[in-house]
Amino acid sequence: MSKLQTSVNLRLAILGGMVLLFIIPLIMVGSLIEERSASRNQAVLEVGEKWGSNQTIVGPVLMIPYNLRIPKSGSSKEKDKWDYVTDYAYFLPEEMDSVVDMKTELRKRSIYEIPLYTSKVKITGKFSPIFSSDFPIDTTYIYWDDVRLVVSVSDLKGLGGEMKLTLAGKDKKFLPGTRSSYLHSGLNSTVSIGEAGNSIPFEIQLEVKGSESFSVIPIGKKSKLMMSSDWKDPSFNGNLLPKDRSVNEEGFSAVWESSYFARSYPQIIHSMNDSILETILNSGYGVSLVIPVDHYLKMERSVKYGLLFIVTSFALFFLMEVFGGVLLHPIQYVLIGSAMVLFYILNLSFSEHLGFLPAYILSSLAVTGLIGYYAINVLKNQKKGLITASYYLVLYSFLYVILASEEQALLLGSLALFMVLAAVMHFTRKVDWYQFGGKNVG
């Protein structure tokens, strides 16, 4: 009899080496999942380029140019002590109420489904009165006749339908572009307000198309956003969660309210810069249209348990050797581990066509049946083969519970490991490992 058959240490060392080698195919499976997920994201990007991508609305903002006197360095003459530059002041609304009615649809690109939407947006509110004293002390001239109302829309391809603007009770027309060095993408309208002694009410109506997510930046001193949609799987995101929300099979509705105390930029920005702009854009909130089952995310999580499942499977068959009087060859372990790796590939390929749950059931039953059939023959015992198949059914059922219960995944996983280890220690408590293989002589 060979040393491989009689030396428990050698067999355990070989099994340990094989377990480590299975890290390579598991890493390759993880890379395959990332590649398929990237393909899906590319499909979303391609559709978004033609329909409209993630949309973020900033505005309205009143942008007013003014001349500013600044000290000139290194000049000794009184008349040459100053430089004069033109800057833009951004005035944000005193009140801003946004109402969004979103209609959604699913478009297919190859085998991928992409959520698209068309939103009818109505923004109402008012600007506070604007005076010369609102500008810096060294302001030398204010271009009251070159004031522009700016609305920034992140992807202009999504603008369609009728666009309306009413300012101070008068109908105005939008022009393409913003004329701003910072809010690059959007619309503008020329406004002649002079030094306003009264508040300036406004009403804006837009139709915006986009994909996956929609956000509004609450730049008002008091801001409110009311959004409703026929999408039943929203993910509310951004700097603030909704004050009220309702989600059912018919869709969702949500209401956000915020004030300028919850942010770190003022109502009047005398000189815009990248830092202030980034702060403004990070203060938004809105919704993402979530595909109910993101099988790529679940697949990525399931692969993390792959090595652990291979270890427990090898431990099961090793115990079958210990108590069954049948020694398995390392190649047989390789075939069993390969079947478990194949589970992830089957699940990935089926889920892209059937959805995650049907694909998971089909893949787990296929691998369970294959390993159970193989175990009946290599262990030369039908009962042990059925026990093995039952073990895999429990194993894959438990994995699904972990994937479905993300918040309790660590707790469930640690308890399961404890129970497995306890079972192994219980059943092997009387095994004389020094005599392993002796019973099989002859």
CA–CA gap between residue 125 and residue 437 (Å, rounded): 85
Tell me: do 258 and 145 sit in the same domain.
yes
The two tokens of residue 60 are 């309205």
Identify the pLDDT of residue 413: 64
> pLDDT category, 302, cuts 50, 70, 90?
confident
Identify the pLDDT of residue 204: 92
Identify the pLDDT of residue 424: 66
Task: Say which range, 70-74, 222-226, 254-258, 330-334, has the weakest mean pLDDT.
Answer: 70-74
Tell me: do 170 and 307 sit in the same domain.
no
Residue 257 has pLDDT above 80, yes or no: yes
CB 72 within 8 A of CB 84: no
| Domain stop point among 232, 258, 292 | 292
Identify the pLDDT of residue 97: 93
Q: Which range among 97-106, 168-177, 237-246, 288-297 has the greatest average pLDDT?
A: 97-106
For residue 120, which of 99, 151, 149 has the smallest C-alpha distance? 99
Identify the pLDDT of residue 351: 80
CA–CA gap between residue 161 and residue 122 (Å, rounded): 13
Q: What is the mean pLDDT of residues 237-255?
A: 86
44 lies in some domain: no
| Domain stop point among 242, 262, 292 | 292
CB 161 within 8 A of CB 63: no
Tell me: do 233 and 123 sit in the same domain.
yes
12 lies in some domain: yes
% of the chain surpassing 70 pLDDT: 84
Task: Say which range, 235-244, 258-267, 297-306, 357-366, has the weakest mean pLDDT.
Answer: 297-306
Residue 406: exposure state from Cβ atoms within 10 A (0-12, 13-18, ≥19):
exposed
- What is the total residue count of the chain? 442
> pLDDT category, 251, cuts 50, 70, 90?
confident
pTM (two decimals): 0.66
74 lies in some domain: yes
190 lies in some domain: yes
Q: What is the mean pLDDT of residues 422-428?
A: 69
185 lies in some domain: yes
Identify the pLDDT of residue 313: 81
Tell me: do 357 and 320 sit in the same domain.
yes
Residue 226 has pLDDT above 90, yes or no: yes
Identify the pLDDT of residue 441: 38
Tell me: do 145 and 230 sit in the same domain.
yes
Cis? peptide before 176, omega within 30° of 0: no
| Domain stop point among 263, 292, 321 | 292
Residue 239 has pLDDT above 70, yes or no: yes
Tell me: do 200 and 318 sit in the same domain.
no
Tell me: do 160 and 237 sit in the same domain.
yes
> pLDDT category, 91, cuts 50, 70, 90?
very high
Number of domains in the chain: 2
CA–CA gap between residue 232 and residue 292 (Å, rounded): 9
Tell me: do 345 and 286 sit in the same domain.
no
CA–CA gap between residue 378 and residue 439 (Å, rounded): 18
Tell me: do 184 and 166 sit in the same domain.
yes
Q: Residue 32 is part of which domain span?
A: 3-39+296-440
CA–CA gap between residue 352 and residue 330 (Å, rounded): 34
Tell me: do 280 and 337 sit in the same domain.
no
For residue 392, which of 316, 329, 298, 324 has the smallest C-alpha distance? 316
Mean pLDDT of the chain: 80
46 lies in some domain: no
Q: Which range among 130-134, 143-147, 149-153, 192-196 has the greatest average pLDDT?
A: 149-153
Identify the pLDDT of residue 440: 45
422 lies in some domain: yes
47 lies in some domain: no
Residue 227 has pLDDT above 90, yes or no: yes
Amino acid present at 361: I
Chain segment 8-50, per-residue pLDDT in tens: 667 777 777 877 888 888 888 888 887 777 777 777 777 767 7
Tell me: do 172 and 104 sit in the same domain.
yes
Helices (DSSP H) in 235-329: which residue ranges? Answer: 274-281, 295-303, 306-324
Q: Which range among 47-51, 77-81, 405-409 has the greatest average pLDDT?
A: 47-51
Tell me: do 90 and 20 sit in the same domain.
no
CA–CA gap between residue 66 and residue 318 (Å, rounded): 82
Identify the pLDDT of residue 442: 37
Chain segment 136-184, per-residue pLDDT in tens: 888 888 888 888 899 998 888 888 777 888 888 888 888 888 888 888 8
